[in-house]
């Protein structure tokens, strides 16, 4: 494997490891429903990007598709969290 592919694979695997650690970070964040959704969304988006990157490197079409799907799911979770925060803030006024 070329050094460029090896470096890219290491970077993608690091992204997977960081995304897997995201649930542990939830304990240190505010416990609002919106914040939890946004954090989970960030984790899913990072994990999806990493999967897609590994899929690109290995030529695995199924992994690329899973990565795209998970990244979109993460983006949707973040938007859901923002909406919950908006409602929460409106109710606090």
CA distance 25 to 48: 18
* Residue 12 or residue 92, greater confidence: 92
- List pLDDT tens digits, range 3-62: 666 666 666 666 665 555 555 444 554 568 888 999 999 999 999 999 999 999 999 999
Q: What are the residues whose beta carbons fall under 8 Å from the beta carbon of 49, sequence distance 6 or more?
A: 15, 67, 71
pLDDT for residue 19: 56
Whether the CB-CB separation of 46 and 22 falls below 8 Å is answered with: yes
Alpha helices in the chain (DSSP H): 3-25, 33-58, 61-92
2 — pLDDT class (breaks 50, 70, 90): low
Residues in the chain: 93
pLDDT for residue 90: 84
pLDDT at 78 over 60: yes
């Amino acid at each position: 494997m070329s050094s460029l592919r090896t470096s890219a694979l290491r970077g993608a695997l690091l992204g997977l490891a960081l995304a897997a650690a995201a649930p542990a970070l939830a304990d240190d964040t505010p416990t609002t429903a919106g914040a939890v959704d946004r954090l989970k969304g960030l984790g899913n988006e990072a994990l999806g990007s990493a999967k897609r990157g590994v899929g690109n490197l290995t030529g695995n079409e199924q992994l690329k598709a899973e990565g795209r799907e998970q990244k979109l799911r993460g983006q949707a979770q973040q938007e859901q969290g923002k909406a919950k925060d908006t409602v929460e803030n409106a109710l606090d006024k």
